[in-house]
Copies of this chain bind each other. A is one copy, B any other.
Amino acid sequence: MTQPTKPDSTRETILATGRKLVTVQGFGGMGLSTLLKASGVPKGSFYHYFPSKEAFGQALLQDYVDDYLARVDAILARDLNGADKLLTFCDAWLDHEREAGLVNTCLVVKLGAEVADLSDTMRAVLDAGARALVTRLAAMLREGVADGSLRLQDLTDQTAHHAAQVLYAQFLGAAILSKLAHDPHPLEAVVQDIKTRLVTGA
């Protein structure tokens, strides 16, 4: 008989609170009671929106992937050459100052290995998100080679995709090393490596 007056805002509150919690606690480590308490939402309300914790996890990751790709699309749409788009993405990723920095809140880093063995629906959402990001990074690389701001040997769609995949892998792995070391140096080393190898005249 509950009639939420702002159903979407309740859903969004649960998702936003959940995103903050899993970024620190992981998905398995975040108890439902902790989430409900932090959201200020009763259990019945939660199950009104999400049939299970896994369904909630799937919605949370989809929401995250949509936001993330929108940020990357905004970079792609800017009036910049390919190298500057790539470096803008690097800056957004590295941004330590703001809580919104992509690396501190990256759920592929935080949850990728966890959900890969835990939930196939959650795994599929993150996998599709990672693939969509690699496609966008490959587009930046192709743009940069076309406008002369980036260098890549033997540019084809396949080599650009391959290079984008390796580049993204570098970021993810360096994020783990930086988290373990409590030190941004591994991430900075990767950005330096990208500049040295890919940016013409850097």
List residues of A whose CB falls within 8 A of some B CB. 24-26, 28-29, 108-114, 116-118, 123, 126-127, 130-131, 162, 165-166, 168-177, 179-182, 186, 189-190, 192-193
Q: How many copies does the complex hold?
A: 2
Which residues of the other chain, B, contact A176 by a CB distance below 8 angstroms? 108-109, 112-113, 116, 169, 172-173
B-chain residues with CB within 8 Å of residue A174 when the two chains form the complex: 165-166, 169, 173
Asked if residues A180 and B28 are in contact (CB atoms below 8 Å), the reply is no
A160 to chain B, nearest CB (A): 12
Chain B residues closer than 8 Å to A29, beta-carbon distance: 26, 28-29, 114, 118
Task: Give the distance in Å from the alpha carbon of A170 to the alpha carbon of B171 in the complex.
Answer: 8
Q: Is the CB of A169 within 8 A of B166?
A: no
Inter-chain contact B180/A117, CB cutoff 8 Å: no
Least CB distance, A196 to chain B, in whole angstroms: 8
Q: How far is the CB of A185 from chain B (nearest CB, A)?
A: 8
List B contacts of A28 (CB < 8 A). 25-26, 28-29
Which of B123, B126, B166, B180 is within 8 Å of A127, CB to CB?
B180
Known: A127-B181, A131-B181, A169-B170. 16 other contacts (CB 8 A): A26-B114, A26-B117, A28-B28, A29-B29, A109-B176, A110-B113, A112-B176, A113-B113, A127-B180, A127-B182, A165-B174, A169-B186, A170-B173, A172-B177, A173-B174, A173-B175
The answer on a CB contact under 8 Å between B189 and A166 is yes
A108 partner residues in chain B, CB cutoff 8 A:
176, 180
